[in-house]
Amino acid sequence: MPNSSPTFWDLFTPKLLTVLREGYSRRAFRADLLSGLTVAIVALPLSMAIAIASGVTPERGLIAAIVGGFLVSALGGSRFQIGGPAGAFIVLVSAVAERHGVAGVTVATFLAGIILLGIGYSRLGTYIRLVPFPVTVGFTAGIALIIAQSQIKEVLGVPFQKLVASEVSLAIPIWGVVIALLTVAVILLLKRFYPQWPG
């Protein structure tokens, strides 16, 4: 009886090579081009926002999104895979950058890649279905609160800890609050009236 289990090379062969061998039509290229533009519209501003929230300059986030997106597309294992920044990593990246600097973030990235390769080869990713849904929702909500708290300084010009500990009135820049409220309003209105738009 032949062994039907995939080999190491079967598991880690980039899907791009498989698609090119099967034949890549102009119609598929146009569809992928539109999808890529849609992802870029969302990923590029998000990557700069994550970079700022993580304590580094916006251009570093932009470069990371471009290089990372290219590598995911070239080496990814699924033809439907989308590569882009994840807001959940703001907390981790900012903590590592604050303690170990950008070099520490680079080392942590390589270590995370090695761990992911091990998980993929051993097929441990299938056990993600055992994680209860409330755990996922709670994790996402917690990350959202941490990100919102980290942006208080940008909106009010006062760190969150100082704002909580202060017993006197603080001078709050009105234009920062106005821009923040307008941004939230635009996001909510677009989601309400144009749900098909990325945002």
C-alpha torsion sign, points 166, 167, 171, 174: positive
pTM: 0.59
Cα(176)–Cα(26) distance, rounded to whole angstroms?
47
Is the pLDDT assigned to residue 1 strictly greater than 50?
Answer: no
List pLDDT tens digits, range 97-144.
888 887 888 898 899 889 988 887 888 878 888 889 999 889 888 877
Lookup: tokens for 165: 């500990």
Lookup: tokens for 192: 């309400």
CB 160 within 8 A of CB 152: yes
Higher confidence at residue 11 or residue 148? 148
With H, G, I as helix, E, B as strand and everything else as coil, classify residue 78. coil
Lookup: tokens for 37: 């533009």
Give the angle 195-86-102 at the CA atoms, nearest 5°. Answer: 145
Q: What H or E segment, with its residue span, contains residue 30? A: helix 26-54
Lookup: tokens for 6: 């995939």
Lookup: tokens for 53: 């929230």
